[in-house]
Amino acid sequence: MASMGHNNLNAKLVLLGDMGAGKSSLVLRFVKGQFLEFQESTIGAAFFSQTLAVNDATVKFEIWDTAGQERYHSLAPMYYRGAAAAIIVYDITSTDSFSRAKKWVQELQKQGNPNMVVALAGNKADLEDKRKVTAEEAQLYAEENGLFFKETSAKTAANVNDIFYEIGRLLLHVTEQYLVSDNTMLQLELDFPVGESTFSSIVVFCKEARALK
């Protein structure tokens, strides 16, 4: 769950998506700045933390990487329970992985925490010659489902920091807007689209955050 201290936001973030889409590689790139051509599939639990400076605040991500359970096409909801953010990853060279990503979106919409900020990452963008999923198709899907979308490459690092930064910015932006107000409930004016349930959840989140201040 996201919690806010003095200009510090702690946020649990989970990665979802098909086996082999590049979830562990994205985490490795973001946390350690590395890439392994033959990334071993994750065995056991994998937890990382990484802090990002976003304007004059910091966001500390507690990152949960799936421990290979995605192979069985089911993940215990306890994995994503309480997550403030999720990155749903597919591989742009695999239409199957894109379909699987859509299933994850549905599952989160049905069972996930409505507070969650959800990003869609079209990974392996460096493999342009093997591309099967167009950026336009994914962008349209993302817009229809209130997600934000980027194509990434864990290999070249393209857009990897950006996607985490954008999640942090999104969480902080609304929090700060609310925190500046006094005791009155502010009608937040967001400069990005969120669904109604996300919006009301953000308001609840901000109230809790302000109570902590």
Ligand X SMILES: Nc1nc2c(ncn2[C@@H]2O[C@H](COP(=O)(O)OP(=O)(O)O)[C@@H](O)[C@H]2O)c(=O)[nH]1
153 is in the binding site of which of Mg ion, ligand X, none (Cβ under 5 to 8 A by kind)?
ligand X
Residue whose C-alpha is closest to residue 120's, from 49, 135, 172? 135
Compute how many other C-beta atoms are within 10 angstroms of the C-beta atom of residue 19: 16
Q: Torsion angle, CA of 192/195/197/198, rounded to 10 degrees?
A: -30
Binders of ligand X: how many residues, by CB under 6 A? 21
Query: Smallest gap, in angstroms, from Cβ of residue 63 to ligand X?
Result: 12
Instruction: Please report, in angstroms and rounded to a whole number, the separation of the first and last CA atoms in the chain.
Output: 17
Question: Taking a C-beta distance cutoff of 8 angstroms, is the pair 56, 173 a contact?
Answer: no
134 backbone dihedrals φ, ψ, rounded to 5°: -75, 150
Residue 20 near Mg ion by CB under 5 A? no
> Quick one: which segment of 34-42, 79-87, 102-110, 205-213 binds ligand X (CB under 6 A)?
34-42
| Residue closest to Mg ion, measured at CB | 24
200 is in the binding site of which of ligand X, Mg ion, none (Cβ under 5 to 8 A by kind)?
none
Query: Smallest gap, in angstroms, from Cβ of residue 32 to ligand X?
Result: 13
- Answer for which of 2, 22, 24, 105 binds Mg ion (CB under 5 A) is 24
Rounded alpha-carbon distances, angstroms, from residue 39 to 18, 35, 57, 58, 138: 15, 8, 33, 30, 26
Residue 103 near ligand X by CB under 6 A? no
| Residue closest to ligand X, measured at CB | 22
Residue whose C-alpha is closest to residue 179's, from 60, 6, 59? 6
Measured at the alpha carbon of residue 3, what is the angle toward residues 182 and 51, in degrees to the nearest 5?
A: 115
Residue 135 near ligand X by CB under 6 A? no
Q: Among residues 41 and 106, whose Cβ is nearest to ligand X? A: 41
Question: Which residues lie near ligand X (CB under 6 A)?
Answer: 17, 19-25, 36-39, 41-42, 123-124, 126-127, 153-155
Binding site for Mg ion (CB under 5 A): 23-24, 42
